[in-house]
Structure 1
Amino acid sequence: MARPQTTDDAALLARLAEVFRQTGFSGASLERLAQEAGLKKASLYHRFPGGKQQMAEQVLDASGRGFQAQVLAPLEGPGAPRARLDAALAGLERFYAGGGRSCLLNMLAPRGLEDGPFADRLKGALERTVGAFAALAAEAGHPPGIARRRAMRAVMMIHGSLVVSRALGSPEPFRLMLADLPEELLR
């Protein structure tokens, strides 16, 4: 009979996500992943027979579900556009730990996105996010082309602020983005 798992899936994926956020896919050694997971390599392989790629795929899927719940669902929900945007911004702040947590999309994106193992997941996540922001901007009164352009800039602001925050070791760029995004998207 198999022994029961001592680490639940959500906690395990959160620990693995932090390794990928810190080191990217290439830099995440199996030794470090096992150490951070609190498991031996054999146990990690038992949970993820597809190895590091399966770990990263499941981390991306879990992250996507969290982003959907905290950011996209408020954007797409009921209420006035500004109230929905404010709820989504609060979700962004929680999701990225106030700018202290790197974006998995950036850390798992290969140099040639179109040929990487996560290309479809990364592209789909970004398209969903741009689409949600564009729908909100259109509902706020912008023509579709302008709404999409503003949404694209909003997504660039979000992800760019995370990169700059990481590089500077300060959440200030992320905080500035949160303050400026409503004007960029809805004005």
Structure 2
Amino acid sequence: MSKDKEQVIIELLKVFRQYGYEGTTLTRLSQATGLGKASLYHHFPKGKEEMAQAVLNYLDNWMETNIFATLRSHDQPIERIQAMTQKVNELYNGGEHACLLAVLSLESKLFAEEIQNALNCWIRSLAQVLIDAGFEEKLAHQKAEDAILQIQGSLVLVRGLGNTAPFQRVLQRLPEELLRI
């Protein structure tokens, strides 16, 4: 592959985010990566499903390194949540990018387990920060679920309204809101 494999996967990610699994065609993937269809099949012999899996693996690694590890750091809870919101803002480009997990979960069961694992890991990691901050486990878990719901819901609203303000508002309020008793 003449392009760096990670760069190819990032280009594939953009296409899957925009068109979902069903709307992503080999032609779109080829155009986005600059690779011919034969080259794509050479590197991803199982085709679109393998490409989507590579994208999900990339996203999973990115989230582990940039979000989950941040939440597991030894900083103060407010600092960990603030760092998470900064990385979430980066992941979704200020709210301009759709959530791949949401897009794929709406139309296909192919990756249901990977999507569920990613969301559960995010919720558990965030809940642990809240437990560290003194919240009871059940409440911490509920607050973490609500936080992910707010992030994901704001991304849906952004797409519907064509305005990133709701996403930015959620991220700005989230650290203090989560730690409020």
TM band (smaller chain):
over 0.9
Matched, 1:186 2:179: yes
Q: How far did residue 70 of structure 1 move?
A: 1.6
Residue 12 of structure 1 pairs with residue 5 of structure 2: no
Q: Can you give the 5+ residue segments of structure 1 that lack an aligned partner in the other structure? A: none
The 5 Å alignment of 1:21-60 reads: 21-60=17-56
For residues 83 and 94 of structure 1, what CA distance do their matches in structure 2 show? Answer: 17
Deviation by residue 1:75-105 (Cα, 9 ceiling, x = unmatched):
1111110011111111111111111111110
Q: For the Cα contact (< 8 Å) 1:70–1:95, is it kept in 2?
A: no
Counterpart of 1:92? 88
Which residue is 2:160 aligned to?
Answer: 167
Contact 1:130 1:151 in 2 (8 A): yes
**1:30-89 CA distances to partner (integer Å, 9 max, x unpaired)?**
111111110111111111001100000000110111112221111111111001111111
More deviation, 157-166/23-32: 157-166
TM-score (norm 2): 0.96
1:108 aligns with 2:104: yes
Amino acid at match of 2:12: L
Cα distance between partner residues in 2 of 1:60 and 1:168: 27
Secondary structure at the counterpart of residue 6 of structure 1: coil
**Between 148-157 and 102-111, the greater mean CA deviation after superposition:** 102-111
Query: Secondary structure, in 3 states, of the residue corresponding to 1:109?
Result: helix
Identity %: 38
Query: 1:183: how far off?
Result: 3.0
- Which of the pair has the greater relative contact order for Cα pairs under 8 Å at 6+ separation? 2
Number of equivalenced pairs:
180
Aligned partner of 2:143 in structure 1 is: 150
AA paired with 2:148? V
Aligned-residue offset at 1:141: 1.2
* Alpha-carbon contact 2:78-2:176 (below 8 Å) kept: no
Deviation at 1:110, TM superposition (A): 3.9
Match of 2:111 in 1: 118
Match of 1:137 in 2: 130
Which runs of 5 or more structure 2 residues have no equivalent in the other structure? none
- Asked if residue 63 in structure 1 is aligned to residue 45 in structure 2, the reply is no
**Is the Cα contact below 8 Å between 1:22 and 1:102 reproduced in 2?**
yes
Task: Measure, in 1, the Cα distance between the counterparts of 2:178 and 2:103.
Answer: 26
